[in-house]
Chains A and B, each alone.
Chain A
Amino acid sequence: MNQTDRPIYTEFHPRWYRPRTSTYWWLKRPSYLLFIGREVSSAFVAWSIVYLLLLIGAVHRGEDDYQSFLRWTSSLGVVLLNVLSLFFVVLHAATWFNLAPQAMVLRYKGKRVPETWIAGANYGAWAFLSLIVALIVLL
């Protein structure tokens, strides 16, 4: 072979370089951890629903079951679980409302409505609804 020979091309292509992703990739950066925290918050949302259904089931079965349910809820393990769940549920709400401006792009007279307005409106609705629910339950 010398330089005037034409090169021979084949079908072969070298394997693409794909580094293996570690199962613990999410521990490597705080933003990754926050992302996984946001996703895992959905599990605590599910637990809250199960807890709510347990409450509704107890109310359905009668006054005694309701009272024993209330006693069960004040046991240490359940309280700790619910405090942890509350943290994750609030994390879910905060990350959700902070994303709302990106999901809901509104334009008024050609200009975009500021992001803080949309997020603020969501937080406002959250505060308002929370107050309404608390009043309905407590009063």
Chain B
Amino acid sequence: MAATKRSIEPLLWVLFSAGGVLAALLIPVLLLLFGVAFPLGWLTPPTYEHLLAVIGHPISRVVLFLLCMLSLFHFAHRFRYTLYDGLQIKHLNELINTVCYGGAIAGSIVAGYLLWQI
């Protein structure tokens, strides 16, 4: 029986899907607080000690790492197909894949390093 060549697409789709769920649930509130509310003075930002304690908690580290890694893969997968469908630049496929997924991997490594160190 000849074995069919397995595609990696299902795995990439699962990462995309999980990333989409986490990003949808967590990023809006985080961006609202740290991107808009604190900078514009609507709410007082947390003290350094409090934020350090929150981020440094083991559960936070794991959740933040998963959020970062999966959201980056969500972006990589979706953006790759947007360039493919939206701009019709199929001939640049290999370059696009390398940049998108490579960027996601690089970002995940940075996230892992920072969250380990803190």
Residue of A nearest to B111 (CB): A53
CA distance A86 to B29 in the complex (A): 9
**Which of B19, B38, B41, B114 is packed against the most chain A CB atoms within 10 Å?**
B114
Q: Count contacts on B: residues with CB < 8 A to the other chain.
A: 50
Bound-state CA distance A74–B40 (Å) is 6
- Chain A nearest Cβ from B48, distance in angstroms: 4
Residues of B within 8 A of A52 (CB): 30, 34, 64, 67-68
The smallest beta-carbon distance between B39 and chain A, in angstroms, is 4
Q: Which chain A positions have C-beta within 8 A of B110?
A: 53
- B10 proximal to A (CB < 8 A): no
**B118 to chain A: closest residue by CB:** A60
A49 touches B45 (CB 8 A): no
Q: How does the 8 Å CB contact mask read for B51-85 relative to A, with 1 for contact and 0 for none?
A: 11011000000001001100110110011011000
Question: Separation in Å of the A120 CB from the closest CB of chain B?
Answer: 15
- Kindly state the separation between the CA atoms of A126 and B64 in the bound complex, as whole angstroms: 16
Contacting pair B88 A56 (CB below 8 A): no
Q: Chain B: interface secondary structure? A: helix
Within 8 A of B (CB), among A58-112: 59-60, 63, 66-67, 70, 73-74, 78-79, 82-83, 85-86, 89-90, 92-93, 96-97
Q: Is residue B33 within 8 Å, beta carbon to beta carbon, of the partner chain?
A: yes
* A113 close to chain B: CB less than 8 A: no
Tell me, rounded to whole Å, the shortest Cβ–Cβ distance linking A78 to chain B: 7
Q: List 28 A-B contacts (CB under 8 A).
A: A23-B88, A45-B27, A45-B75, A48-B35, A48-B71, A49-B72, A49-B75, A49-B111, A52-B34, A52-B68, A53-B111, A55-B34, A59-B51, A59-B118, A74-B40, A74-B41, A79-B36, A82-B36, A83-B36, A86-B31, A86-B36, A89-B23, A93-B25, A96-B21, A126-B24, A133-B33, A137-B54, A138-B46
